[in-house]
Every structure is written in C-alpha cells, then in structure tokens.
Amino acid sequence: MVRTLSVFNDTPDPRTLMPKKAPAGATKPSAHPVRDAADALYRAANESCHQHQRLARVLGHGLDDFELEGVAEVVELSDRIVAQATKRYETVAAAGRGDESEEWWHAANALYMGCREYVRRHEQSDAVAARLKKHDAAQLNEIRMEFELEMSARMALKQVINAYGKLRPDAA
C-alpha cells in the first residue's frame, strides 16, 4: 500500500489508507443453482418492497430533500437488483428444477413471474413518465394508470414473496 503525505502536515492522506476493493473472483459452483437463484431473487424482491415502504414513510413525514434523494437512490438500486436477479433466475431455471421439489418449483416460478411483471410495469411507468414530462390532463391520466398498474404488480409481488418465504424460511 502506498502512503502519501499531506501537503499541510506529515500525516498520511486518509484516502490512501483505505484498502482497495478486492477483484471479483470466480463464483463457486453451487450444489443447488436454481434454488440459490430463487433465494437471491426472493431476498432482492423483499428488499425492494421494504425500500419502497421506507420511501412512502419518508414522503409521509415530509422530510427534507437530502434524505428523500438518498432513499430514492436506494429504491432505484433495489429495483435494478430485482431486475438483475430476475434475469439470472430465468437463465439458471432454463435448465430445469434439478432435484428440487415440485411444490418449491411452483413457488419459485410464481416468484419469478411476479418479479418479472413488477419489473416490466416499473419500466413502463418510468418510460411513460419520462416521455410525458410536459403533459396535459389526458396524458396525466395515462401516467396515473401506469403507476396504478405498477402498484398492483407490487402488491402481487408481495403475495408471492410471502408464499415463497413460508415455503423457504431459510432463504431470508
């Protein structure tokens, strides 16, 4: 580790004392790749719902923009992670369920479909909101409808999250 001295005194520059991020290594092969992908999807979706609830609470408190912006960034990140985990599950599950039970397979696929629908609705509502930044009353109705469909998809997602969590409590 290289240390540099500050121009103003003889103390080391704190930025150089931070360890560098370790390079991402190859992932270990899993004995249960489909279950692991579904569990990761479950955790990502659960966290996304949690962060959306947190955003609603912050909005309800009418707090300052600094906190609101931070929470909104976390919500956006959690939604991106759900989208990535959904794609990963789709790829891994294409090979079949492996040794997993039929009941688990149905719950995992219901979770996947709920996540896929939520991601689709979320992307659509974002696209409509971006396209119609300047809107009239009729276009506002279109934006409202897209957001309501997104909320409906999130409520359905919460149901499949709960169902999967009951079947796989160890996934949390």
Please report, rounded to a whole number, the percentage of residues in the chain having pLDDT higher than 90.
45
Judging by beta carbons within 10 Å of its beta carbon (0-12, 13-18, 19+), is residue 125 exposed, middle or buried? Answer: buried
Which residue has better confidence, 92 or 6?
92
Query: Quick check: 82 and 118 in contact, CB under 8 A?
Result: yes
pLDDT at residue 123 greater than cutoff 90: no
Instruction: Report yes or no on 19 lying in a domain.
Output: no
Residue 132 lies in a domain: yes
Q: Which domain holds residue 94?
A: 31-166
Query: Is the model's pLDDT at 157 over the cut of 90?
Result: yes
Number of domains within the chain: 1
Q: How confident is the model at residue 6 (pLDDT cuts 50, 70, 90)?
A: very low
Domain assignment of residue 25, yes or no: no
Q: What is the mean pLDDT of the chain?
A: 83
- The answer to whether residue 1 is domain-embedded is no
Report the run of H or E that residue 37 belongs to, with start and end: helix 33-61
Per-residue pLDDT at 143:
76
Domain-embedded: residue 129: yes
Q: Please report, for the domain that includes residue 106, its CATH number.
A: 1.20.120
Is 52 contained in some domain?
yes
pLDDT of residue 118: 92
Enumerate helices (H) and strands (E) in the chain, giving the number of each.
5, 0
